[in-house]
Each structure stands twice: as structure tokens, then as C-alpha cells.
Amino acid sequence: MWRRLGLVTALLLPLAACSSDDDDGGGGLPGGGGSDGVEAMLGTLPVPSSAEEDGTLTVAYGDLARAARLAGVELPDSPDAAAFDDQMDVISTITGQVLEGDSERTPVAVMPPEVAHIEEMVGLEEFVDDVGWSVFDVRSFVELQAPPNSVTVMDGGFDEDRITEALGEPDDGVWIAGDPEVQTNLDERTPARPLGEPQWLSLDDDRLVITRSAEEMDAARGDGSGTPTVADDEVMVSLAQAVDDADAYSALLYRGTLSLDLASSLGSPEQLEAACTDALQEPFTGVAGAIADDDGPVVVIAYVHESAEAAEANAETLQDLVAEGRSLQSGEPWSEQLEIDSVETDGPVMTARLRPVRPGYAAIWHRLLLQRDNLVTHC
């Protein structure tokens, strides 16, 4: 009987440190895999017009091949290469989620691309029939999340013939799924396009690019007339470097203001003032959450401040908050959830390495950002 994953892949933002010596990143999995890290892939993402309007950027990254290797599972060669329950077990294991009836959590928690819509796993066959690929073709990815638009760049074992069978012959290397003139069409919903939205797809060797507009596709393919990319943004580059230095295999990077009053539902100035006693005091211009592995899961949080002094001040506050403070969302002491490996600063960048106290609770890393808890917001 089908068991639905308890997955939350839609982001709510406004929006190990070392692997083993024999880890080649690809895990010996079909289609290559592995990744050069976040920073190396930022140049594939064009900056959306929305970033110019509200100053925010959100980028997700994941190395599914490495996550599978760490978890001791094998990604299927193709969407139809494993029974459905086996597919569900693989996805739940590498994403750190718990299936109904399972009693143990996994120590691995990669964030999958939103465009893979793993919440629609029951319709995987229909997904492939619609667009010609699935999450099991993906080995690593980077994704610009700027609703209603997005750009996803995925490396893996994609089958050009299968995509053509689903979508017809490409035009100048680009396939289009759905009606390009209609942004949403609920009568044309599929597991791959749950709003009936159109998609533009382009395959270059093992790299599949998916966008929500022709203009974004042109920019992602380098035909965007000098369109700036996320690699041109100093805050995002600093966050990516911190995540890569920690050898993270999945991350969520956010540039913008995440002050406590904007990030919470506190109802009064008095409540906000009380919450600020358990919060980072210095503003920061960007924050990233990530997961690494170093003989077990390591939660990485990186912050970019306006000055080295602000970073130093928040480094001290963060250590006190983890030791003595409580989660703004649950009220639970942080000391019962996380313990500090290290907190370091490098100029305006502060990076914290935290270990989950509970066995296998790796998925806490993205919960912090999804819930905008007080470890990733400031007063």
C-alpha cells in the first residue's frame, strides 16, 4: 500500500565537513554525479527581475549522488528500475524524512529540487510520460527559487530520446512542456507540472536546464545578452564559499533581510521584545543552512554581515543561544537539539558547525530555515 512521504519541499522564506578518502562524489552511480559544489554552479543561474525589486535571492543545492552514498543506498538506474515501495524508501532515506510506520530517522538529509516534485511520487510514471525525466535521473542540482519563476540546473543521467518521446523534437535545443502562452492551467495539471504551468527544457550533455519562461532559458543558456548571474552577487558567493568549505552536500542560501519582526508571527511589540532576548542581535545580509557529514551529520549555518565586528558579536551570541536559549518556534531548548562543534569568523562571514543531539536528526538543518527560527534571524 502506498505510504505518502511527509515532505515539505516548498520554501517558506520570503521568498561532513570531510567525506571519506574513497568518496568520488558520484558514488559509482549511473549518469556520473557528484558536484563541484555550490559556488561552481552559481554562474548557471540568471538573476531574476524580482531580485532587483525586493533585493532577495534564494538558491537551493543538493548532491543526491553523495547523499545516496552516505546513506548506503543506490539510486535506481531509471524511473522504472525499482518497485514503488523501494523508490519511496530510497527517497525517504536520502532526504531524511520518515515514512509512515518507520521508527528510525536517517542521518542523511539532502534537499531535492522543487521541480522534481517528489511529493507527487505516486504519479512518477505520469511524471516521466509528461516531461521525460524524473528525480532518479538527478545526481546534483542547483535551483534558483523565485516564485512564480525558477531556474533549475541538474547534472545526471538524462535520456534525450526519452525527453523527445515525451515532448517532441526540440526547437533550437529547447523543448516546451505545456502551453507557453498560459502561466497556469489547472485543467492540464500533471505530477511534473502541478499547476499546469509551462516549462522550457534544454539538455547539454549530462546537464538538464528547466525554466518557467523563454527569457530565463535564454539567460541560463548564456544567450541572455549579458544577463547577470548569481555568481555576480558578493553575498551569495560568500555564502557558497562557506558552504563549500564545510564540504556540505546540500544547502539553502538566502540573501536578504531576515529580521525577527519580519520572520515571525509575533503579535505585539512586547512579544517581539521578549523574543529578542533569545536572538542574534547584529543584522546580516545573507544566511545559508547546510548539511555535511563528518562521522555523522553536521549542520552548517553561515552568515554574511556588514562588518567583521558584527560577525564577532553574533558568534558570541550564537554560542550562548545554543547553550542556554530556546527555539522561537517550539520553545524547546536548543541544547536538547544541537551542540556546537565550532563557531568561526572570517571577516564579515561567520560559520557555525552544529551536531544534532538526537540520532539521525539531520533534517533539522532545513527546518531552521523553513520555519525561520531564531538561529537564522536577527533582532
Q: Which pLDDT does position 267 carry in this prediction?
A: 60
Angle, helix 64-71 to helix 84-95, in steps of 10 degrees? 100
Instruction: Find how far residue 110's CA is from the centre of its chain.
Output: 8
Q: What is the DSSP string of 296-319?
A: SEEEEEEEEESSHHHHHHHHHHHH
Q: Report how far residue 219's alpha carbon sits from residue 34's, in angstroms, rounded to the nearest whole number.
A: 25
Beta strands at 138-146 and 250-255: parallel, antiparallel or unpaired: unpaired
Q: Which pLDDT does position 4 carry in this prediction?
A: 36
Among residues 197, 172, 32, 184, the alpha carbon closest in space to that of 115 is found at 197
Helices (H), the chain: 38-41, 49-54, 64-71, 84-95, 124-131, 160-167, 214-220, 234-245, 260-263, 269-275, 308-324, 364-370
Angle, helix 160-167 to helix 124-131, in steps of 10 degrees? 80
Q: Which pLDDT does position 2 carry in this prediction?
A: 31
Strand partners, 354: 299, 340
Q: Which pLDDT does position 52 carry in this prediction?
A: 67
Q: Which pLDDT does position 28 carry in this prediction?
A: 33
Q: Which pLDDT does position 10 carry in this prediction?
A: 36
Among residues 65, 74, 54, 51, the alpha carbon closest in space to that of 23 is found at 65
∠ CA 320-237-253, nearest 5°, is 55
Instruction: Examine residue 148 and say whether the peptide bond preceding it is cis (omega within 30 degrees of 0).
Output: yes
Tell me the backbone φ, ψ of residue 215, rounded to 5 degrees.
-65, -40
Q: Report how far residue 326's alpha carbon sits from residue 340's, in angstroms, rounded to the nearest whole number.
A: 15
The 10s digit of each residue's pLDDT in 5-39 is 333 333 333 333 333 333 444 333 333 345 789 99
The CA distances from residue 110 to 59, 65, 113, 201, 345, in Å, are: 14, 10, 10, 24, 26
Give the list of residues 6+ apart from residue 339 with CB closer than 8 angstroms, or none.
322, 354, 355, 357
Residue ranges of the chain with per-residue pLDDT less than 70: 1-34, 51-53, 78-82, 98-105, 223-225, 261-268
Listed by start position, the domains of the chain span 38-230, 257-370
The 10s digit of each residue's pLDDT in 62-79 is 999 999 999 999 888 766
- Kindly tell me the burial class for residue 356, based on how many C-beta atoms sit within 10 Å of its own C-beta (0-12, 13-18, 19 or more): buried
Three cell numbers written together for 225: 545578452
Q: Which residue has the cell 508571527?
A: 265
The 10s digit of each residue's pLDDT in 94-121 is 998 765 545 566 799 999 999 999 988 8
Burial 256-286 (b: 16+ CB within 10 A, else e): bbbebeebbebeeeeebeebbebbbebebbb
